[in-house]
Amino acid sequence: MLQFYLSLVDNTEEKQRVEFLYMNYKQLMYKTALAIVHSPELAEDAVHEAFLRVIKNISKFFSFSCNENASYLVIIVRGIALNMLNRQQRLTELDEDLPSDDDIEAAAEIRLSFEDVLKNVDKLSPALKNVATLYYAHRLSESEIAEMLDMKINTVRVSLMRARAVLRQMGKENEYE
């Protein structure tokens, strides 16, 4: 057991960072999860699981601002809550339904205004929004997103393709919500 304590010593700052995140963001994370799973018990489980993920990725949290902390934590717990919900509702896997090449090519040619993009962001499902936010707003690589959200890298790629297709839509309903 002494080994356990010794292993902690090298990581005092990381431990303090986890504590800081826990104390400051547990309410926000809970509320985020609750909005999805609608069950206090499941929402608490989601926050707990999210902190497991945070601990695994704690080194990344040293360079984040407060806003970034909130954003990352919301994305992580939202992803977990969605997975819980999906497991309950036995939804199909994300990577089973790809957008067609025609969709992607058509979307690539469209020139949109910022207002159009803002409207399209609202059409993104929470899962796609998570991946797109990490990729575009936080500039994480596909592999970093896969690690943070505990997804297969292929699922990240597919999600990004879908998100891009939704973001580029003009005047038609979102097919990938």
Partner 1 sequence: MNDREMYAQALRFSMESDIAEYEKQPDHKFSRRFERRMKKLISQGNTLQYTPVRARIPLKKALAIAAIIVLASTLLVGATVAGYRLWESFYIRDYSDFSTLYISQIEGAPKTLEEKYDIGADMSGYVRTVTFENEYMFLVDYDIPNTDKWVAFEQTTRGISEQTWLDTEDAIVMPREVTVSGYKGFFCQDKYGARVLVWDTGDYILSAGGNPISEEELMRLAESVQRIDN
Positions that interact with partner 1 (CB under 8 A): 1-12, 14-16, 18-19, 22-23, 26-28, 30-32, 34-35, 40-41, 43-44, 47-48, 51-52, 55-56, 58, 67, 70-71, 74-75, 112, 114, 117-118, 120-122, 129, 132-133, 136-137, 139, 164, 167-168
Cα–Cα distance, 135 to 100 (Å, whole number):
21
Least distance from C-beta 51 to partner 1, angstroms? 6
Least distance from C-beta 5 to partner 1, angstroms? 4
In the complex with partner 1, which residue's Cβ is closer, 75 or 82? 75
Cα–Cα distance, 90 to 168 (Å, whole number):
29
In the complex with partner 1, which residue's Cβ is closer, 56 or 152? 56
Q: Specify the long-range contacts of residues 45-51, CB closer than 8 Å, at least 24 apart.
A: 45/84, 46/77, 46/80, 46/81, 46/84, 47/77, 49/80, 50/76, 50/77, 50/80, 51/18, 51/21, 51/22
In the complex with partner 1, which residue's Cβ is closer, 10 or 96? 10
Least distance from C-beta 90 to partner 1, angstroms? 26
Scan for tokens 């057991």, then name that residue: 1
Scan for tokens 């309950």, then name that residue: 88
